[in-house]
Chain A
Amino acid sequence: MTTPPSRLQTAVLGRSWRWTLARSALLIGAAWLAFGVVLLPVRGAGVSMRPAVEDGQLTFVNRAAYWRREPARGDVVALRMAGPSVVYIKRIVGLPGERVAIERGQVVVDGVPLDEPYVARRRPWDVPPLVLGPAEYLVIGDNRDMRVQDHDFGRAQRSRMLGTVIVW
């Protein structure tokens, strides 16, 4: 004859401590997989990605995004520095091998103006045409209402791209 578990025991360990342990291990494993391997929490600092990423906004980098595909135009990407602790967030506007220019604020790819619905306002930036190398992407922030001298953008190597930034 066994003594039934007390209310406290049931509340803490459930009806079966083995199942509770297994469920806890599963939950910890899933959390580690989600937040330790796939999703990297990041906080925006600065205004060059407005309005997609605001200063101080908390979001995540999806590091699984490029496991099965290459970076694409329009992706908001995280670019690592020496490691993943501090990253740049930019948007891809030019792909490897393309000829890209900015004419009076309008991005032009291989002679065709790029439709950028994510840009709210733009100043008349001018960047002479450049041809991207085999592993190079042109990345820019969405806030084109800044002075061009205050906005950091340029060619980024594929090897620096950690994944896509989840924008909501």
Chain B
Amino acid sequence: MVKKGAALAAAVAIAVAAYAYWFSDERQIVRLLQAVAESASQDEPLAMAGMAKVAGLRTLLAPDISIDPGPPAPGPITGAAEVMAAVTRLRSTFPVVHVRFEDIQVAVGRDESGADSGAGTAAVHTTLRVETRSAAGDESLDARELSLLVLRRDGRWVIAAVKTVPVLERVAGAGGTAIRVEDRSNHD
């Protein structure tokens, strides 16, 4: 009887821990990024389902989102509609696009500068990896370190701001494209 009670208590404790983990703010924000990556990725060009996926980005981004890609981009992208248009352009340029967020670190209650900012705000630090394949079969990989501001609006987490974090402080004359090397030990 005692054994049965202990087993039941352990099962309840595991269920509560799993529930708390799965529905924690951190897990919700990780799932938000995964949903963004899924919406931006495609394995076949411009399928109708793919266009619906891009439209789904609207629920994941703040309407007034600001994305600062850093140099060599001409300037920030502002507004969810503009971001969705940029994603659509990317997907129409490359038949295959794989987007992933790696090494996601979430700090709930912090803003991008790391300062306390209340429970409805979270700072996220991650690496964005975009792999593309052109119609000719040329593959390319781009990766950027990002700092994101995520806000809870109407009970849902949405991405409000994105900034590129420079890995190298470029010197005069240096370029903007890079050799990047990916660790496949953990993810592929």
Partner of A154 from the list B129, B174, B179, B180 (CB cut-off 8 Å) is B174
Is A89 part of the contact surface with B, judged by Cβ < 8 Å?
Answer: yes
Given contacts A41-B184, A149-B175, A152-B179, 20 further A-B contacts (CB under 8 A): A41-B183, A42-B183, A45-B141, A45-B181, A48-B178, A53-B181, A79-B168, A81-B127, A82-B103, A82-B127, A85-B182, A86-B183, A125-B173, A141-B179, A148-B175, A152-B175, A152-B177, A153-B170, A154-B168, A154-B174
Interface size on B, residues (CB 8 A): 35
Which residue in chain B gives the minimum CB-CB distance to A35? B185
Once A48-B179, A88-B179, A89-B181 are accepted as A-B contacts, the answer to whether A82 and B146 lie under 8 Å apart by CB is yes
Q: Is A25 an interface residue (CB 8 A)?
A: no
- Residue-wise, chain B 114-134 has the 8 Å CB interface mask toward A (1 for contact) of 000000000001110100000
Residue of B with least CB distance to A41: B185
- Contacts A147-B175, A152-B177; A88 near B183 (Cβ below 8 A): no
- On B, residues with C-beta under 8 Å from A are 102-105, 125-127, 129, 141, 143-146, 165, 167-187
Beta-carbon contact of A85 and B183 below 8 Å: yes
Query: Is the C-beta of A160 less than 8 angstroms from some C-beta in chain B?
Result: yes
Verify A81–B179 contact, CB threshold 8 A: no
A residues adjacent to B (C-beta < 8 A):
35, 40-49, 53, 78-79, 81-90, 102, 125-128, 130, 136, 138-139, 141, 147-156, 160
A136 to B185, CA, bound (A): 29
CB pair A82–B145 under 8 Å, yes or no, is yes
Taking a contact as CB atoms under 8 Å apart, the answer to whether B175 and A85 are in contact is no
B168 touches A43 (CB 8 A): no
Q: B173 to chain A: which residues have CB within 8 Å? A: 102, 125-128, 148-149
26 examples of A-B residue contacts, CB within 8 angstroms: A40-B185, A41-B185, A43-B183, A44-B181, A45-B141, A45-B181, A79-B168, A81-B144, A82-B105, A82-B165, A83-B102, A83-B103, A83-B105, A86-B129, A86-B181, A88-B168, A88-B178, A88-B179, A89-B179, A127-B174, A138-B171, A148-B174, A149-B173, A151-B177, A153-B170, A153-B175
Q: Is the interface of B mostly helix, strand, loop or mixed?
A: strand
Q: How far is the CB of B184 from chain A (nearest CB, A)?
A: 6
B176 surroundings in chain A (CB, below 8 A): 149, 152
A40–B182 alpha-carbon span in the complex (Å):
10
CB-CB nearest in chain B for A46: B179
Q: Which chain B residue has the least Cβ–Cβ distance from A139? A: B168
Bound-complex Cα distance A87 to B181 (A): 5
Residues B183 and A152 in contact, CB atoms below 8 Å apart: no
B10, chain A: closest CB distance, angstroms = 27
Residue from B168, B177, B184 with most neighbouring chain A CB atoms (10 Å): B168
Assembled-state Cα–Cα distance A45/B178 (Å): 9
Q: Which residues of B contact A90 (CB under 8 A)?
A: 168, 179
Q: A41-B184, A89-B181 are in contact. Are A152 and B102 (CB under 8 A)?
A: no
Taking the closest CB of chain B, its distance from the CB of A76, in whole angstroms, is 11
| A86 lies within 8 A of B127 (CB) | yes
Contact B127 A130 (CB under 8 A): no
* Known A-B contacts A42-B182, A45-B182, A152-B168; A83 and B177 likewise in contact (beta carbons under 8 Å): no
